[in-house]
Structure formats: structure tokens, C-alpha cells
Copies of this chain bind each other. A is one copy, B any other.
Amino acid sequence: MSPPLQPLFAQRVARLRTHMAETGLDAWLVFAPEHLRYLFNYSGEAACGLIGTRGSWLVTDYRFIEQAEEECMHHEWRRGVATELLCRDRQRERLGQVLRRLLADIGAARLGYEAGHVSVAQWTEISADLHDFDLLPATDFLVQARRVKDAWEQQQMRQAAALADAALEALRPDIRLGQSERQMATRLEQLLQSLGSEGLSFPTILGFGPRSALPHSAPSDRPLQRGDLVVLDFGAVVNGYRSDMTRSHVAGPALPWQQRMYDTVSRAQQAALALLKPGISGSVLSEASSSVLAASEFAAHAGPGLGHGVGLVLHEQPFMNSGCASVLRAGEVVTVEPGLYIRGQGGVRIEDDALLLDTGHEILSRAHRDFELPL
């Protein structure tokens, strides 16, 4: 019998240490919340992590120390991963002082720090205590490592996508003419929560009529009117892993131009999906999709960019556009989301999450894609 799937914390830390050895780093200072979760299983706030060549440390304060004990020390997932917790008294000791002591104790000389996840002001303060050490900005290794999801991570991504599908399915019978964007978004968010999403993957994007042409429309009080285009973009979260899906509809029977618009976006998405497998680059995928939009009557209204990686972070590497040389690998999850945005009239975007398999891909988001709402 195969053991139950678990996130492979020890393996993740080991891979980081290999990278540290290759690049001459004695320690790695973790600031990104997603990396605290990825390496330490920590989901709280106000913490930073330190990975040395042997031990690892998490520094937080009294507000989060019990959560850190539960998640980083006593959780079954973290068994066998040596970690120490430090509870800092913020009034008595600066973070830089704690780090200086730790680094001196382990005899570190060269420290990599996540320059993408600490502000200039914070780092100015922290690094003032660390002048005895070589400080090297280092973020990219973990960002790249997180792109490929292991079996457990894939399971979380599938569950998040399925949960979003179920929420949308439950929402559909409640959609009414006259309902506002805000009411519909609230109802959807309540369904996501009731079904077990850990909060929202991101604030729901929902636009009716002309507002559907805003790629990031925040729900307003505009009521749904017959003939409106509707763009709904939302997601669920399971164990920190996010889904991201967009569906586009028309409220009632589609006008010919609306139907052509929808069909164009649908074909643009299919053009990319037809090529989606390991070995392909983001730019080739992006061109496949955008050339369909560019050849259509709606060419002037095409949104740039095709999609992005998704995982512990909503928008992560790779960012797929015409300049994206990055080549996709099995285990990555990317969104494929071409869109048309006609100012003052409306928009259509169709977005799915796809997991790259050894020989193709698996679409994780499976919600209905019928264009016309029966209103």
C-alpha cells in the first residue's frame, strides 16, 4: 500500500541546500509568506525563516508562537525536519540582532535573502545589524522550484479547482436579472466559504454589460440586464493552493456579435490548449492564442498576455506572453485566459487552470462553459 500523500518538506529544504552549496551560500533568509509555507508549513504572519546548511529556524513573536509550534514543529507533515522556533520580544530585541546571533552561532559568512519580499526600509533596518556578513539578494531559486508541483500539491490544486466548480454550479440557479454585481459576487463568495475554501483566492472580479470590459472589474451596484455580457473571475483556496477560473456569459439570448466574440475567445483558448504540453515555451503558446484574436474582427480589442503560473501564489512564474522564453515542464499549473475587451460595450474572457502532464495536460477547472444564461 502506498503511503498517503504529504507535502515533502524535507525534500524541499534539501533541494534548497543543494542550491545554497552550489552558489556558496551558508544560509537563506526567508521572507515570502509562500516560502514560509513551502518550507516550514507556517501559515501565520509576522515571521521570517532561516535555513542553514544543517538546522533551520523560524522567528516570530508571542502572537504567533503557538501557531508556529503547531504547524512547524508538531504537525505530522513536519516530522523529521529539524527546526527551532524563536519567540522574539519586539520591544527588547531587533530582528537584525536575533539574526546576527543565529548567523554567528552557525558560523555563516554568506547570507542569501529574499530581496523580492522585504521592503527597502525593513532591509535597511535589518541589515544594519548584519554588517559582518556578505548579504546577497536571492529569491529566484524558490520561485522557480515552486513551479513544478509534487503529487500532494497537484491534489490540492485539483481540490481547489473542484471547489470553485461546485460553487459556480450552486450559484447558477440563483442568477437573476436585476441582481447587482455585488450581490452575485457575495453569494458566490459565501458558497466558496461554505464549501470549505480557506478564504478567497483573490477578490472576485465580476462585471456586467460595459463593466465586463474591465479586465479587473470590482463588483459594483450595477444590476444585471437582459443582453449584458457577464465576466466572472474567481477562485478557491485549499491548504494554501489557489484556483483561478473565468467564465463569460450573456444574460439571455446572445446577439450575433456577442456570439462571434465568445467563439473567437474560445478558439483562441483552444489554439493554446492544443499545444499545451511539456517542452513548449510561453511565447509560442501566447502567439498561438493571440494570432487567433489578431485574425478576427475583434483584433483591436485583444488583451495582451495569455496566462500565468498558479499555486501558493495567484500570479506566479511563468508569465506567459509574447516575450516569455520560459519552457513548461510536467507538474506546472498555468492559467490559459485569452480575452477581448470592447470598451463601453463588454468583454469576454475564458480562463482555465491546466496541469502539465508528461504527455499533455489535464484541465483542472471543469465548470460549465455554456455562453447563454437561461434568463
Chain A residues with a Cβ under 8 A of chain B: 43-45, 62-64, 66-67, 89, 91, 115-124, 137, 139, 186, 189-190, 193-194, 199, 203, 213-218, 303-304, 321-323, 343
CA distance A54 to B110 in the complex (A): 46
* Residue contact B189 to A62, C-beta cutoff 8 Å: no
* Residue contact B214 to A67, C-beta cutoff 8 Å: yes
Chain B proximity of A167: nearest CB distance (Å): 13
Q: Which residue in chain B gives the minimum CB-CB distance to A45? A: B216
CA distance A43 to B216 in the complex (A): 11
Instruction: Using known A-B contacts A63-B215, A303-B62, determine if residue A116 contacts B115 with beta carbons closer than 8 Å.
Output: no
Q: Which residues on the B side are within 8 Å of A213 (C-beta)? A: 66
Chain B proximity of A237: nearest CB distance (Å): 11
Known contacts A67-B214, A89-B304, A121-B139; 19 additional CB pairs below 8 A are A43-B218, A44-B218, A45-B216, A62-B303, A63-B216, A64-B215, A91-B321, A91-B322, A115-B120, A116-B119, A116-B120, A116-B121, A116-B122, A118-B120, A120-B137, A121-B137, A124-B137, A190-B193, A199-B203
Q: Which residue in chain B gives the minimum CB-CB distance to A113? A: B120
Chain B proximity of A56: nearest CB distance (Å): 22
CA distance A218 to B217 in the complex (A): 30
CA distance A107 to B189 in the complex (A): 48
Q: Which residues on the B side are within 8 Å of A117 (C-beta)? A: 119
Q: Which residues on the B side are within 8 Å of A189 (C-beta)? A: 193
Copies of this protein in the assembly total 2
Top 8 nearest A-B pairs (CB, nearest first) are A115-B120, A116-B121, A115-B121, A63-B215, A186-B193, A190-B190, A66-B214, A63-B216
Chain B proximity of A32: nearest CB distance (Å): 10
Q: Which of B44, B119, B343 contacts A115 (CB 8 A)?
A: B119
Chain B proximity of A213: nearest CB distance (Å): 7
Chain B proximity of A95: nearest CB distance (Å): 15
* Residue contact A62 to B122, C-beta cutoff 8 Å: no
Q: Which residues on the B side are within 8 Å of A43 (C-beta)? A: 218
8 examples of A-B residue contacts, CB within 8 angstroms: A44-B216, A45-B216, A89-B304, A116-B122, A119-B120, A120-B137, A186-B193, A189-B193
Q: Which residues on the B side are within 8 Å of A124 (C-beta)? A: 115, 137
CA distance A67 to B44 in the complex (A): 32
Q: Which residues on the B side are within 8 Å of A194 (C-beta)? A: 186
Chain B proximity of A70: nearest CB distance (Å): 9
Q: Which residue in chain B gives the minimum CB-CB distance to A32? A: B119
* Residue contact B343 to A66, C-beta cutoff 8 Å: yes
Q: Which residues on the B side are within 8 Å of A66 (C-beta)? A: 213-214, 343
Q: Which residues on the B side are within 8 Å of A67 (C-beta)? A: 214, 216-218
* Residue contact B323 to A91, C-beta cutoff 8 Å: yes
Q: Which residues on the B side are within 8 Å of A322 (C-beta)? A: 91
CA distance A66 to B341 in the complex (A): 11
Q: Which residues on the B side are within 8 Å of A137 (C-beta)? A: 120-121, 124
CA distance A321 to B116 in the complex (A): 31
Q: Which residues on the B side are within 8 Å of A115 (C-beta)? A: 119-121, 124
Identify the interface centre among A64, A89, A215: most chain B CB within 10 Å of its CB: A215
